[in-house]
Amino acid sequence: MLEALGLGLQGFLESMGFGVITIGQIIMLLVSFVLLYLAIVKQFEPLLLLPIGFGMLLANLPLAGLMAEPEGVFGQPGFQAGGLLYYLYMGVKLGIYPPLIFMGVGAMTDFGPLIANPRSILLGAAAQFGIFAVFIGAILLGFSGPEASSIGIIGGADGPTAIYLTSKLAPHLLGPIAVAAYSYMALVPIIQPPIMRALTTKEERMTVMDQLRPVSKTEKVIFPILVTVLVSLILPSAAPLVGMLMLGNLLKESGVTERLAKTAENELMNIVTIFLGVTVGATANAETFLRPQTLMIIALGLAAFSFGTAAGVVLGKIMYKTSGGKVNPLIGSAGVSAVPMAARVSQVVGQKENPANFLLMHAMGPNVAGVIGSAVAAGLLLSIFGG
């Protein structure tokens, strides 16, 4: 009897994860705890970092097989279904989730400030310089073209775009890139202000801008249709992201599909965010994550953010000069997408110099232009390296 008990206990002990967990998995679990800490205690983009951290936790539990691939052929004897997260991950792998999130973003975004001041869209283009500057850096560090593109896109400061491009070009880097992109987005208020102050004079920072003209409803309705047609014709590979972004926006602005707009920006987006976060986190396993490359990606991501911010501010300065001091260069930094965090940073830095200055709405123009700009940059990189 005692023997049977012993054997049973032994069998149970062997089925436990403790016996087979590897050092790599233990470290990955610790990394996931750190992410969960950052999400819950520090509130760094908790809506994404929490699912990412937990996905990482789930995928690194030995024997649980949540990311296991299916074995055999469906319907045939011997078929073994894959893990839960393996199937949910298809939405990332096939590029389904990020455009759906973009639809929700579109339904939440007011492009009014951009329509009112069309030149501010250029600041959204300049801030994409970070993507390409870091692309060069990553190539020099020995990354391949597709990998370097995926790392550079962190500088677009746009999570869904980064995940979309990486899932197509370098899926093995998805974990580190997603973590870097979302962490830096949370750190925008810390990263940007020193760069903004270093590049501008006090006088420039105090510039008060003219109030934006009111934008008619007709313009707001035509805008998403116009952008979709133009951008998709010029750069078809950007169509999934830009098209869905503008669909969401049209749902909102048309005024006749309020129910759909609400679903796109709330329920649907929340559901997709959970799937996206958990499965992106689950791609991070010890073999791909615990490499010197991950540290390089994190360093390059920071550089991408900084270069993007600097380029935006520099173009802002040029516009300040050419407009005869009507444009505050601080709104340039908002050209890195990170809506609306980057615009708020412009507002706060500007207000420190001139408490009566309200730059928020002016900064929203480049800010939403940055979303379009990084989607265009992603489409471009995809058309070059995706072939």
Partner 1 sequence: MITDAMTLGEKFINSIGLTILGMAIVFVVLIILSYALDLLRIIGTDKKKPTSSEEVEQPTNSASAAEVPQEDDGEIIAVITAAIASLSGSSIENFIVKSIKPVPQKNNIWSITGRTERMLNRL
Of residues 347, 353, 364, 382, which one binds partner 1 by CB under 8 A?
Answer: 347
Pick the binder of partner 1 from 54, 86, 89, 129 (CB under 8 A): 129
Residue 22 CB, nearest approach to partner 1 (Å): 31
Among 90, 230, 256, 295, binds partner 1 (CB under 8 A): 230
Return d(Cα 293, Cα 301) in angstroms, integer: 12
In the list 278, 341, 368, 371, the residue contacting partner 1 (rule: CB under 8 A) is: 341
Query: Which DSSP letter does residue 77 get?
Result: T
> Is the CB of 60 or the CB of 117 nearer to partner 1?
117
Query: Does 227 engage in binding with partner 1 (CB under 8 A)?
Result: yes
4 sits near partner 1 (criterion: CB under 8 A): no
Q: Is 284 in the site for partner 1 (CB under 8 A)?
A: no
Distances (CA, A) of 6 to 1, 191, 286: 9, 59, 34
Q: What is the smallest separation between the CB atom of 251 and partner 1, expressed in angstroms?
A: 19
Least separation in angstroms between CB 319 and partner 1: 12
Distance of alpha carbon 346 from alpha carbon 228, whole angstroms: 28
88: how many CB neighbours lie within 10 A of its CB? 19
Per-residue buried b or exposed e for 352-384, using 16+ beta carbons within 10 Å of the residue's own CB: ebeeebebbbbbbbbbbbbbbbbbbbbbbbbee
Cβ–Cβ under 8 Å, residues 367 and 344: no
288 lies in the binding site for partner 1 (CB under 8 A): no
Of the residues 26, 90, 136, 256, which one makes contact with partner 1 according to CB under 8 A: 136
Rounded to the nearest 5°, which phi and psi values hold at 63?
70, -10
Residues 6+ apart with CB under 8 A from 226: none
- Considering only 38, 244, 330, 345, the residue that binds partner 1 (CB under 8 A) is 345
Measured from the Cβ of residue 345, the count of other Cβ atoms closer than 10 Å reads: 26
Q: Which of residues 276, 364, 377, 382 is near partner 1 by CB under 8 A? A: 377
Rounded Cα–Cα distance for residues 110 and 253 (Å): 9
Single out the segment in contact with partner 1 by CB under 8 A; choices: 23-31, 63-71, 80-88, 344-352: 344-352
Could you say whether residue 162 binds partner 1 (CB under 8 A)?
Answer: no
The verdict on 372 binding partner 1 (CB under 8 A) reads yes
Least CB distance from residue 11 to partner 1, whole Å?
49
Residue 80, phi then psi, degrees to nearest 5? -125, 120
Tokens of 318: 């040029």
- Mark 91-120 with x for binding to partner 1 (rule: CB under 8 A) and - for no binding: -----------------------xx--xx-
Task: Give yes or no for residue 326 binding partner 1 (CB under 8 A).
Answer: no
Q: Which residues contact 375 (CB under 8 A, 6 or more apart)?
A: 102, 158, 161, 231, 238, 241, 242, 245
Q: Do residues 172 and 198 make contact, with C-beta atoms less than 8 angstroms apart?
A: no
Nearest distance, CB of residue 276 and partner 1, angstroms: 25
**Contact residue for partner 1 among 235, 284, 286, 327 (CB under 8 A):** 235
**Does the protein bind partner 1 through residue 78 (CB under 8 A)?**
no
**Residue linked to tokens 């089925």:** 15
Choose, by CB under 8 A, the member of 7, 16, 226, 295 that binds partner 1: 226
Tokens of 279: 């499965």
317 binds partner 1 (CB under 8 A): no
Least distance from C-beta 205 to partner 1, angstroms? 15
Longest dimension (CA), the chain: 93
Phi/psi at 71 (nearest 5 deg)?
Answer: -115, 145
Considering only residues 206 through 225, tell me which ones interact with partner 1, judged by CB under 8 A. 216-219, 222-223
Exactly one of 69, 70, 384, 386 binds partner 1 (CB under 8 A); which one? 384
Evaluate whether 161 touches 374 at the Cβ level (below 8 Å): yes
Q: For partner 1, which stretch binds (CB under 8 A), given 53-61, 255-263, 322-330, 339-347? A: 339-347
**End-to-end Cα distance, the chain:** 66
Cα 291 from Cα 155, distance rounded (Å) = 21
Q: Where along the sequence are the contacts to partner 1 (CB under 8 A)?
A: 114-115, 118-119, 121-122, 124-126, 128-129, 131-133, 135-136, 139-140, 144-145, 148, 189, 216-219, 222-223, 226-227, 230-231, 234-235, 341, 344-345, 347-348, 351, 355-356, 358, 360, 369, 372-373, 376-377, 380-381, 384-385
